Structure formats: structure tokens, C-alpha cells
Structure 1
Amino acid sequence: MKNLKNMKRLKPRRIANKIMSRLLKGNDLIILLGARQVGKTSIMHLLMNRLLQREKIKKNRVFYFDLEDMNLLEVVNRGVEEFIAFLEASGADLKGRCFVFLDEIQYMENPSNFLKILVDHHKEISLVVSGSSSFSIKTKFKDSLAGRKRIFEIYPLDFGEFIEFKDRKELAGFWNTGNWEKARFFEGDFLRYFEEYVIFGGLPRVSLLPTREEKIEYLKDVVNSYIKKDIKDLFRIDNPYAFNRTIKLLALHAGNSINFANLTTICGISRHTFERYLFILENSFILKLITPFYSNKIKEVAKMPKLYFMDTGIRNIITGDLNSLEGRRDSGSLVENSVFLMLLTGKGPLDEIYYWRTKAGAEMDFVLKGEGERLQGYEVKYRPFKEAKITRSTRSYINKYSPDLTCICTKNFYQDEINMDLMGFSGLNNKSKLVFLPAFFLSKGNIFCHCKS
């Protein structure tokens, strides 16, 4: 249990507001899921600070436990009665509402039963728990808490948060609201921060480290301690060499579709083992797969998934390349990976991200399918533009699906309110829009607003 007096000043995270709203509404169990070092513990401390300072909850009603501490883990594994006795011995006032934060619950032997009893029989306790393995937690939870838990997935910083962590609140404000008229005067700053974001990723601690050497050292430690050790131990991987080789190969293929036959041959493992490794890495929040969007299986790709890493810094440290974007052969796929992460953090709860490709070679990097069959397409072209021009692939996609929005993600070119008739389109629905935005300027404030009726 940590002393709340010694908590350091914490940087804000947008998702903390959503979690706090849910926490204050009722007694649902709140679960924070995400990879190590994405900020789950810091978010817990943010919530505790707000409870103490804004909500004026007394200190003897707010408790935090790190279950990596073997002594604390032993207490919770003994059962609810022992834990309640421990709370009371620690000074908890259980006569009123208490807020208990349990960090890294995947280490518990039976978290499902433990938390179910607390939720069912101790209404005075509001629980917030965190975990670093989606699969481990889901399998241990089974269905016993159906309808009584709320899961929040915690991702690395989005680009707006990254800028805020750099104490450039004015730039973050332009980004959040989509105010290009003001943001354009700071294009150089945005590009500089965006390159750092793409190369070193969005882990909160990395963004705060002052030197390149410190960032690299920290990322190496995360890869070695979490991916190569914790995940290996948690999932009982018996061939670490093949697992690590697979991780590196997948990192080199980030932004590309997966050819299972080719990759399994290169790795020297069976397809079953390869798919198991993919499953483990996706459920440990290291990478994410997206599937094709299609309406015609004969002409369009329908099966082969694409993969993206959940943090580009982690991806780059695995490949051993943290050079600047200029001159890199993989600069396009790296920026594409960052655009994917922006879409992932900005999309609505019912939105799904796909990619589109025809067997003739036409492609749209991302298709966002929302409520009411709304479609948005995103094509990453990270280079300077002098005027609004689109590729044959983009034209093919727009003609086939008449999406509500098509966005070309450029290096620094901005243009919206484009006349679709002048671009050579006819017969589209009246709501179909085409915009060109710098990749660094993708945010909920300037993208998703284009799709409003």
C-alpha cells in the first residue's frame, strides 16, 4: 500500500475523466486493461488524487495495493475475509463508501471469485483494478461478473497528450479543437514533435525523458522485462528463441498484411505455434490485427489481416532502428502505424477499423465503419503536396463505396471543403467529403466532425 502523501505530480490523461465519471456513478467493478508502462498506475493515482482533492473523500477511505508485492498478493489470495481484516487493520473506515485500487490483478490465483464476492457482499467498497494481460484476466474472470464490470482499455499517449506532456498546452489545444488557422503558424514544432512521437512512441515515461540515450535505454528495458520475460513466463512459452524471433519478424512487418505460410517458414515454426504467438502478443497489448473490409470476395481481399504495433517506440527498439524518418525505408509504414493509433484512440465505442484492398492492387490504408453504416477512409501519403491530388486507388475506393469522409494524411498539406465534382466525381451521396490533413493533425476535433450530419 502506498502513502498517498508521497504521490508525485501527475500529468493529466483524458480517459481519466471517463473513468472518474463511471466510478462516481455506481458500484460497477472498473477494470483498466493495457500493456505495462502505458500509464495504468498513474491513472489510478490521478483518480485517487481527484477523490481526495475534488470529492473531499477522507484518506482512510482511499487505498491502493500493488499486487506485484508478494506480501500483498498473499493477503488477497487468502480470500475476501482476510482482505477486509487487512483493510481494517490499515485504518480503513468501512462504515462509509471506500475506494480500493488493486494494481496488476493477473497475478491473483482467482480474481473472479474474489472480486465477485466483494462486489456482491461489500457494497461499501468501490473497486478499480488493473491488468496487463487481457487473455489472463478474461479466462480467470469467466462470466461471473457479466453486466457488473466496466472495462477501459488504456493505450499509450495519443499525439495530443504527447504534446501536453511536453508542456505545450497551446499546441495541444489547437490539435484537440482542430484549429488549423492557428496551428499552421507552428507547423515546424508540430513536425518536430510528431517525428519524436513516431520514432520513440507514446509511452508516458519515454515522452518525459530528456535525451535520446535515456529513451532508448528505457525502451530496451521495457522490451526485455515485459515482452521477453513477463509475457514469456505468464504464457509458459517453452521456446523463447522462436518467440523472440517471431516478435522481431512481426515488428519488421508492421503495417503490412500477414502471409502466414511465408512467415511461419521464416520463423521455422508451425502455423499453430505462430497463431498462438500472435494471440499472446495481441492479448498482451503489444500489437493489433485488423481485417479487410470487403463486399465482393471475388474482387476484394477478404481474409489476410494487417498488423500494427501498439507503440511505435517498442516496434523500433525491437527492429533496432531509431533513426529519423528522413531516409528510412520504412518511414511510410511507421507513420501509417501512428495514424492507426490515432484512429484507435479517437474512434467511438461502436466503430471498427479495417483496411481495403482489391486483388487488382487498389488500396485504402484504413476504413472506419461507424454506426448506421457510416464509412470513413484514410490514406497515408506522408510527403509534401502542392495541390489536392488523389491516386487511382483512392478514386477507386470513393467510386465504389461513396464514403462519408475520405482523408488523405499528408506531411504538412491542409485543404478541406474540396469540391468533389471538380475532382471528377459524380453520382456520389451529398455527404461524401474529401479532406487533406497533415498526419500530425488527426484528432477527434478535426476528423470526426467532418462526418456529422
Structure 2
Amino acid sequence: MIIERTVKQQIKKALDLGQLVIVIYGPRQSGKTTLIKSITDEMSVQPFSRNGDDLFTQKEFSTWELSALKSIIGDNKLIVIDEAQRIANIGIILKLLVDNLSVTIIASGSSSFDLANKINEPLTGRSQTILLYPFSYQETKINYQQTLPETALEEMMTFGMYPKVFQLTSKEEKENYLYNLLNNYLYKDILNFENIKKPKVVVDLLSLLALQIGKEVSVAELAQNLAISQKTVEIYLGLLEKMFVIFNLRGFSRNLRKEIYKTSKYYFLDVGLRNALIRNFNPLDIRQDKGELFENWFIVERMKFLNNNNHRANLYFWRTYDQQEIDLIEEKEGVITGFECKWSKNKVKIPQEFLDTYKNAKYQIINQENYLDFIT
């Protein structure tokens, strides 16, 4: 079954409006190539396609000479470049093309660090950037029409949302795919970053973060455990975010002196990858981390829902020095909403200080019964 991507309509609209450069970025294996093909298959012109991972393509596009670029492109009007960040000075090259040729360009990449730096700046005002996450529940819910809700949730919390996972049937196949994703893509991408001198340390850092999801992270403590400097830890955390492996939420503070706002919580963009990292695909009923997994999974799904439906929001967590806390704070169009994720069915006490401080704020407890109301 072909699963339609929600952001496809955003891309088609941008093309219809005459946008010259569409930049699609997101994690490796999130479905960028498949999405682009589904779009170009519906267009009246055939694309000129290249992959930046290919050494020939990197050499082919290494020139800044317009005449040479014209001879490469020929009469093609639609250019598609996968993994565009692998091509040196790709932003300047694309600028040359759109400034001098009647072309439309769709470029994709799996590193926001490289893609943002190399494409967006030279093409300011002439490119539109689309973030493509792995599948969202909103996109895959049709797959679970004949599945009990609790079974579907456990499946997603265990194996994550990468598109390939939904093509596989057995537990063993899914586990092997996620292990291969770690070894063949993640670790190799880490090696490709010039700033990373000790790749094993980065893997150790990820393993530490995998055991701390939902908790505030101390850079000093991570540095001490890894026997490296705090500055190095901060660099590695930044790179892992730009590779779409992890993301961080900062503390929310507007009014109270005792609100914590200088620390971060780190989550994984896909919980399946996180489970592969710690080698744990056990059933939820015997796992000690199911509450943290549910929190991580829901926050990512909420992020996807906002992104895929073109809603703009700032996301944080909230905590005070006297241990009152809320997992996720969403600030959207002047409205503040708190989301507290709870796997257990125990009664949850609403942090009264939050409601007293932010008079017009909303508050939602997210559990196994109502989570779908906020991600579909």
C-alpha cells in the first residue's frame, strides 16, 4: 500500500506558484526520494536526476562555469538532486542555474547543517524549505484500521516510524533493518563530519542520551562520563541534531524567577532507532522505560502534526526548582498549551503554579485513551 505524504501538497503548491528551488530535508530513509518521484511522476516533464552521494555527480557539479553547467543540464527544465549537501558549493551552483536558465530545481538532503548553509543563504527569497519526517501516525493510521489501538501503539513505540519498517512483517526483519540503519547510515554519517575526531565517543554520547529521554541533561555530567570537554559535547550534540538523530527542548520561562530555562531535554527523532541503539525491543509490559518512550513518541508525533499541517509553534518543557513540571509546552499564535504525558492511569495532579502564572494557558493530560486527539 502506498502511503501518501502530507507535505506533498505543500510541495505541489510551491511548484504551482512558480517557486524555483524546493529544498526537502530530513533524516536518511525518511522517504525523500520516494516523495520526489511521486511528485515528478505527475508532472508533464521528465526530471534530470542526480545523487550527491555519487562521486561522479560531485565531480560533475564541481565547476562554477555556466557554460559547463549548461552542457550538463542540456535542455532539461526540471532538475532533481538527492543528497545535495554532498556537492561542494551546491548553493552557489544552484543560484547560477536559476539565475541563468529556465529551470525548476528540487534538492533533498539528510543534513540540515550542510543543506541550510550551502543552499538557503545563496538562494535567499528564491527557495522554499520543506522538512520531511519519517511517517507520522496521521499518515499511517489507515494501516491500523484492523488493529487494536493498544497493539498499534506498542508497535509504533517499539519499532518507530521509518517508512521501511511499515514494509516489513516480522519482528526480526524490523530489528535487523533498524540495526542496519544504525551501522550503515548513522555511523557512516558521523564519520563524514570533519569536526568529529572520535566517532566512538559520539556513539557513547548517543547511548547516554538514549537512557535519559525525558530527563534534563547536564552537559558537564556528559563531559565527565565521556572524558571530553564540555565544548566538545556541545559540538557533538549540535551535529547530532543537524543529522536529525536527536532534538532538544529548552526550558520555558516568562514570569517566575524559579522557572528553569537554561537546561535542555533531549529526545530521539525516532524511538525505533533509539531502541536499536540500546538493543531493547522487548514488549512494553516488561519494560521499565515505557513511560519515557511514550513521552518521546508523542512529542515527536505532535511535532510532525504541526509541521505536516503547516502550523508554526515554539516547543519547550516547563519545570520549577521545586520540581513542578510539564513535559511539553506549545506556544502557538499567542496561546500556551501544556501537555503532560502519562502512560500509567494514576491520577495526575495539575501544576497549579503554572495555571496561576499563565492565566489563559491550556493544559492537557495525554494518555493511552486520548493521544490520537492531538496528532490527527
TM-score by length of 2: 0.93
Q: Deviations over 1:405-426 (max 9, x none)?
A: 32111122xxxxxxxxxxxxxx
Instruction: Return the alpha-carbon distance in structure 2 between the equivalents of residues 219 and 281 of structure 1.
Output: 17
Q: Deviations over 1:282-327 (max 9, x none)?
A: 0111111111111245211121111111000111101111112213
Confirm whether residue 407 of structure 1 aligns to residue 369 of structure 2: no
Confirm whether residue 353 of structure 1 aligns to residue 315 of structure 2: yes
Deviation at residue 441 of structure 1 after TM alignment: 4.2
Instruction: Return the alpha-carbon distance in structure 1 between the equivalents of residues 366 and 31 of structure 2.
Output: 28
- Verify the 8 A CA contact 2:250 2:316 in the aligned structure 1: yes
After TM superposition, the structure 1 = structure 2 runs for residues 243-258 of structure 1, keeping only pairs within 5 Å, are 243-258=202-217
Instruction: Return the alpha-carbon distance in structure 2 between the equivalents of residues 23 and 158 of structure 1.
Output: 24
One-letter code aligned to 2:50: F
One-letter code aligned to 2:363: T
Instruction: Return the alpha-carbon distance in structure 2 between the equivalents of residues 49 and 194 of structure 1.
Output: 33
Deviation at residue 142 of structure 1 after TM alignment: 6.7
State the match for 2:335 in structure 1.
Answer: 374
Among candidates 292, 297, 318, match of residue 277 of structure 2: 318
State the match for 2:32 in structure 1.
Answer: 40
Deviation at residue 236 of structure 1 after TM alignment: 4.4
Among candidates 237, 247, 262, match of residue 196 of structure 2: 237
SS at match of 2:300: helix
Confirm whether residue 285 of structure 1 aligns to residue 244 of structure 2: yes
CA RMSD of aligned residues (A): 2.0
Deviation at residue 63 of structure 1 after TM alignment: 2.7
Instruction: Return the alpha-carbon distance in structure 1 between the equivalents of residues 350 and 86 of structure 2.
Output: 52
Among candidates 350, 355, 363, match of residue 398 of structure 1: 355
Confirm whether residue 117 of structure 1 aligns to residue 75 of structure 2: no
Instruction: Return the alpha-carbon distance in structure 1 between the equivalents of residues 364 and 250 of structure 2.
Output: 20
After TM superposition, the structure 1 = structure 2 runs for residues 332-343 of structure 1, keeping only pairs within 5 Å, are 332-343=291-302
Confirm whether residue 301 of structure 1 aligns to residue 279 of structure 2: no
Deviation at residue 82 of structure 1 after TM alignment: 2.9
State the match for 2:81 in structure 1.
Answer: 102
After TM superposition, the structure 1 = structure 2 runs for residues 108-257 of structure 1, keeping only pairs within 5 Å, are 108-122=87-101, 124-141=102-119, 143-164=121-142, 166=143, 168=144, 171=145, 189-257=148-216
Confirm whether residue 443 of structure 1 aligns to residue 375 of structure 2: yes
Unaligned 5+ segments in structure 2 are none
Confirm whether residue 21 of structure 1 aligns to residue 13 of structure 2: yes
SS at match of 1:408: strand
Instruction: Return the alpha-carbon distance in structure 2 between the equivalents of residues 258 and 137 of structure 1.
Output: 28
- Verify the 8 A CA contact 1:299 1:359 in the aligned structure 2: yes
Identity across matched positions, percent = 28
Greater Rg by CA: 1
After TM superposition, the structure 1 = structure 2 runs for residues 64-79 of structure 1, keeping only pairs within 5 Å, are 64-79=49-64
Aligned length: 372
Q: Deviations over 1:369-396 (max 9, x none)?
A: 011x2111111111347xxx54143x43
Runs (4+) off by over 4 Å: none
CA distance change for structure 1 residues 189 and 403 in 2, over 3 Å: closer, same or farther? farther
- Verify the 8 A CA contact 2:249 2:265 in the aligned structure 1: yes
- Verify the 8 A CA contact 2:190 2:199 in the aligned structure 1: no
State the match for 2:288 in structure 1.
Answer: 329
Deviation at residue 139 of structure 1 after TM alignment: 2.8
Instruction: Return the alpha-carbon distance in structure 1 between the equivalents of residues 2 and 73 of structure 2.
Output: 26
Instruction: Return the alpha-carbon distance in structure 1 between the equivalents of residues 360 and 155 of structure 2.
Output: 32
Unaligned 5+ segments in structure 1 are 1-8, 52-56, 172-185, 413-436, 445-453
Confirm whether residue 86 of structure 1 aligns to residue 72 of structure 2: yes
- Verify the 8 A CA contact 2:45 2:78 in the aligned structure 1: no
SS at match of 1:50: coil
Instruction: Return the alpha-carbon distance in structure 2 between the equivalents of residues 252 and 81 of structure 1.
Output: 54
TM-score by length of 1: 0.78
**Which structure is higher in RCO with an 8 Å CA cutoff and minimum separation 6?**
2
- Verify the 8 A CA contact 2:216 2:263 in the aligned structure 1: yes
- Verify the 8 A CA contact 1:33 1:152 in the aligned structure 2: yes
SS at match of 1:191: helix
- Verify the 8 A CA contact 2:3 2:140 in the aligned structure 1: no
